[in-house]
Structure 1
């Protein structure tokens, strides 16, 4: 970490189980525990903790499922955790489907807006240039 020598040490007390989880997470991410804690705090301050934070039920189950160590579960707990994981996958897929529809709608709206603006600009250009409209061309005038 840049400038680490300029940062005063900060004592932090935490439950041993949490410390072990942070140590494992730090190891998996190739960071020291200190760097991992700083990253977790930075993500929290920046609002990047959990993309599901707006859905309390999904967030609660998500945290519950990912915080459990499968190697320490009974077979019954393992099956229950897997059922919750299946529910989460379904919830994620539903959200992806809904978000996809929203994105497609936004893309269609953007395209329609661009076309409308292009037509309006074209009309303004024709008006400014004082071009005759199609109804005022010599061929159309003779027909009347």
Structure 2
């Protein structure tokens, strides 16, 4: 896989049936290593190792229902009270981050109500803080680190 715009992390890999798998520390299992999964695993390790979010507060690839359609979010970080702090949308490195990607995460967030949004393709990362009262968001340089 190509290097991404993240630090190096101690990933675990295995090869089975001519496919490479990467260990997901959140789902606690090996998953097929696809370009989007490569980005997702970097995000998860970044949240844990660099931003100090507890592993127990992170959820990966869960289904949600939007307008009666089954969708999946990539990564969610919960607050200790159960509300959602961060919603992350991961794309393959060859996918450009466009308005459509922001529209997708915005649709998900209408239901999830995350305080922060992150969109990344592993090379480019965008961070927003939501202002629900004024129905807008502001771009940030980064998402905040965890504070207990």
Same fold? TM cut 0.5: no
Q: Normalized per residue, which structure has more strand?
A: 2
Q: Normalized per residue, which structure has more helix?
A: 1
- State the TM-score, normalizing by the size of structure 2: 0.28
- State the TM-score, normalizing by the size of structure 1: 0.29
Is the radius of gyration larger for structure 1 or structure 2? 1
